[in-house]
Structure 1
Amino acid sequence: MMGSVTGGMGLRDSSWAASVITGAVLSSLVWYFGDWSGSPVVCSLFMASVVFISIWLLLVREDFFCWPHPALWRVVMAASILYSMLLTCMFWLPPKQARMVLRRTLWIQVLEFPQLLMRRAMARTVLSHSALIMRNRSVLWIQSITFELIEESVKSVLPNFNECWWDRWVLDVLLCNFVGMEIGLFLINRFAEPFNWFTLTHERARPPHEESRVPSFLTSREHFLTVCFVVGIGPLVDLINFLLKAALFIPAESPLVLCNLLLVGLPCLVGVPEIYATLSVSGHFRIGSQGAVLLYSVLMELALSWKLSSDTFPANGLKSIPVVARALWTLALLLLLGFTAMLPFGRNEPVPGSIAKKRKVF
């Protein structure tokens, strides 16, 4: 296994503290005395980010992952907080100024990615990151099909979703998504632990001779809602990503697309296992600190897209979605709520003493 729920000493030692402070000071000196062509605002934001990440590395002590090093995941957490702060700042700006901030000050010109290299990196990330996060073939297939149905429903709002049936169902689902799933699941089976979202029975207080034919996620309302949250958050994040790019006029070739993918995908590598570890050990649905910051960022992306939609999307907005699609999605939501209400309230009891068990998830 690559790591565990509990981390090691990490950066708590004084030697690590000295290294972090030295690195921050040297970065400041190099940036200050170097000949950089970026705008002063970019320089100021960069150095403020360096200071914030350095302080975060020194102060934060709780580590969910310790592979390859706890410092990596602390940097991811700090970057998530900075990203959420940036989204909050842009949300309170007028639409024109928000786009101007992105275009003139945050448009990454210092890092000139070669187009071919960037596209290859994005292709590798897109093909494997969902499987590395969810670690379950059934969840991945449900998310893939759900997103294609969402594309079909909102193609009147986002014109780039206008695809022919073979492009959507053959090229996207049966080819690209299938290859990405298998690559990601192979890596998970080789180096980590798959997640059994639907049949969490290995830590249940069930007699060894007793076997239930009902999947465990149908025996507890809290477990069922957890699975629904995990299944639904993937297509929602993908949809918001497309909405945000359209609202901010970000081309698909921009390095900002790759940065956004990393700022969302890397925190998911921690947030989703946090949910799974809590569910499998205690039977409760709980979002950890990294997941909470990520959820806030996703909601702020949705709010920012909605605010900027007045001059980006069609004037009738959601009304342009076909009536049949809206009716079917409403019916599906009502059926889901009704089915959830019929499930028994409570949670699946864990084995006594398993709450304190250190469970390896990565």
Structure 2
Amino acid sequence: MAVSTGVLNGESRSFPPALDERAAQYSMLNHVINNLAAPLVNVDEDVMWKVEILIAAVIIVSLSVVYLPDHGVFTKPFKAVWRVLLGVALCYSCFLLYLLINYNRDNAIQFLGWLDPNLGKPLPEKNYADNCELWDAENPHHLHNFLDRIDIFIVCHLLGWMWKTVIIRSAALVWFLSILFEFIEISFRHLLPNFYECWWDSVLLDVFGCNALGVCLGMLVVRKLGLEEYHWGFSRGGCWSDHRKLLLFLFITIFVEVLDTTLFFIKYELWMPTSHWILVCRTFFWAFFGPPCTTELYKLLYGQLSTFPLYLAVGTIIQCLELGLCIKFGQGVFHESMPSNIRISWAVIWTIVIARVIHLRMEAARKPVNGESVHNERVESPEQRN
């Protein structure tokens, strides 16, 4: 091999370096790498697996920031913030899909116990309908049953409905959703013991307490911040006279109620306490991912969305995955069937709603608009009508 000579810093050296010099450089590099990797040699394998999962999530979120499209409506504080949120949603959907495909309920509980050693233990059953006497004359504190229900979760309940109102921006629709959820609790309390509540708990603390106050505070925030109020057509019955509005109204109703209901089933089936960090992260995720989903649905209702509703699509996929987990992990856990009166009531309600949708769609198909069928007509928003 030909060897050339040169001068570097006043010294004559051969190029390429002699074999012993290159070996010394390699030895030094090997020494540096070994010293850097030494702290990882004795790390527990479980910790390494968790680190690898975290690194994979960081890579997905980083690629999302670079390659995913911007949200068409939400641009503040930075467009990258919403791309990060979409990347987190993709990570969450992959995590749910992994659980759904690979694990049954017992294995999923073991997997969560591996993620957090505090999990994997049965939760103590708590029944909120043990003593439903509102006024106890024999006790010095006559309202002790009522006051015992007031804790930190009451504040969380209030803030939850306030933020839900800020997201949906319609007092009438959120009020309807809050009442509907009480009926859902009644429908599934044969499966979930903590759905059993005293009448005053449901009426005074929930519907006319936290829910009503949360709706009022939420609308106050919307108006103070100058946010656009959303007109879903619910307050004036418009959704009952247009099949598209009715379908989207059903979609957002199912979306919100499934989101709330699956939380309780996941807690019960996977033995996760309400205050656990995984459920807290899920709550905060939906608190920030809900606004772009709702906005895309509203713009879609009035034909103002020029791009594909990506956030709404990803949110719907996550909802389906969470619902699939609840159904899969609930097999063998729940043995009681829904009471016949509740089953018949829901069957009647859905029959009426589906019949109305079909009727409105048939009317729209028969009604021409400027020589074309009405399905080509855009629904005008209240702002466009004004």
TM-score by length of 1: 0.74
Give the whole-Å Cα distance in 1 for the aligned partners of 2:185 and 2:69: 42
Q: Structure 1 73/272 Cα, relative in aligned 2: closer, same or farther at 3 Å? A: same
Give the whole-Å Cα distance in 2 for the aligned partners of 1:186 and 1:167: 25
Q: Structure 1 residue 95 and structure 2 residue 88: aligned?
A: no
The answer on whether the counterparts of 1:155 and 1:162 sit within 8 Å (CA) in structure 2 is: yes
Where does 1:22-37 land on structure 2 (aligned, <5 Å)?
none
The answer on whether the counterparts of 1:221 and 1:347 sit within 8 Å (CA) in structure 2 is: no
Q: Deviations over 1:169-223 (max 9, x none)?
A: 11011110111111211111222111001079xxxxxxxxxxxxx8543442112
Question: SS in structure 2 opposite 1:39?
Answer: helix
Where does 1:236-251 land on structure 2 (aligned, <5 Å)?
236-251=258-273
Match of 1:298 in 2: 319
Per-residue deviation, 1:268: 1.3
Match of 1:195 in 2: 230
Give the whole-Å Cα distance in 2 for the aligned partners of 1:80 and 1:108: 25
Per-residue deviation, 1:238: 0.7
Overall identity of the aligned pairs, in %: 23
Q: Structure 1 238/288 Cα, relative in aligned 2: closer, same or farther at 3 Å? A: same
Give the whole-Å Cα distance in 2 for the aligned partners of 1:82 and 1:76: 10
The answer on whether the counterparts of 1:129 and 1:265 sit within 8 Å (CA) in structure 2 is: yes
Q: Structure 1 residue 153 and structure 2 residue 195: aligned?
A: no
Match of 2:346 in 1: 329
The answer on whether the counterparts of 2:301 and 2:379 sit within 8 Å (CA) in structure 1 is: no
Give the whole-Å Cα distance in 2 for the aligned partners of 1:339 and 1:61: 38
Per-residue deviation, 1:36: 9.4
The answer on whether the counterparts of 1:136 and 1:196 sit within 8 Å (CA) in structure 2 is: yes
Moved more, 120-129 or 334-343: 120-129
State the AA in 2 paired with 1:190.
K
State the AA in 1 paired with 2:292.
V
Q: Structure 1 36/349 Cα, relative in aligned 2: closer, same or farther at 3 Å? A: farther
Give the whole-Å Cα distance in 2 for the aligned partners of 1:287 and 1:222: 18
Match of 2:6 in 1: none
State the AA in 2 paired with 1:303.
G
Give the whole-Å Cα distance in 1 for the aligned partners of 2:278 and 2:115: 12
When Rg is computed on C-alpha atoms for both structures, the one with the higher figure is 2
Give the whole-Å Cα distance in 2 for the aligned partners of 1:40 and 1:283: 44
Q: Deviations over 1:109-131 (max 9, x none)?
A: 9xxxxxxxx96994565142211
Q: 1:272 aligns with which of 288, 294, 300?
A: 294
Q: Structure 1 residue 63 and structure 2 residue 71: aligned?
A: yes
Question: SS in structure 1 opposite 2:302?
Answer: helix
Match of 2:171 in 1: 137
Alignment gaps of 5+ in structure 1 = 1-28, 110-117, 201-213
Match of 1:15 in 2: none
Q: Structure 1 residue 75 and structure 2 residue 103: aligned?
A: no
Q: Structure 1 140/169 Cα, relative in aligned 2: closer, same or farther at 3 Å? A: same
Q: Deviations over 1:265-313 (max 9, x none)?
A: 32211111001012223599x9711111111111111111111113433
Q: Structure 1 122/51 Cα, relative in aligned 2: closer, same or farther at 3 Å? A: farther
TM-score by length of 2: 0.70
Per-residue deviation, 1:251: 0.9
Match of 1:17 in 2: none
Match of 2:245 in 1: 223
Q: Structure 1 residue 166 and structure 2 residue 200: aligned?
A: yes
* Matched pairs, number: 298
State the AA in 1 paired with 2:83.
R
Give the whole-Å Cα distance in 2 for the aligned partners of 1:272 and 1:95: 32
Give the whole-Å Cα distance in 1 for the aligned partners of 2:77 and 2:184: 37
Moved more, 140-149 or 123-132: 123-132
The answer on whether the counterparts of 2:168 and 2:174 sit within 8 Å (CA) in structure 1 is: yes
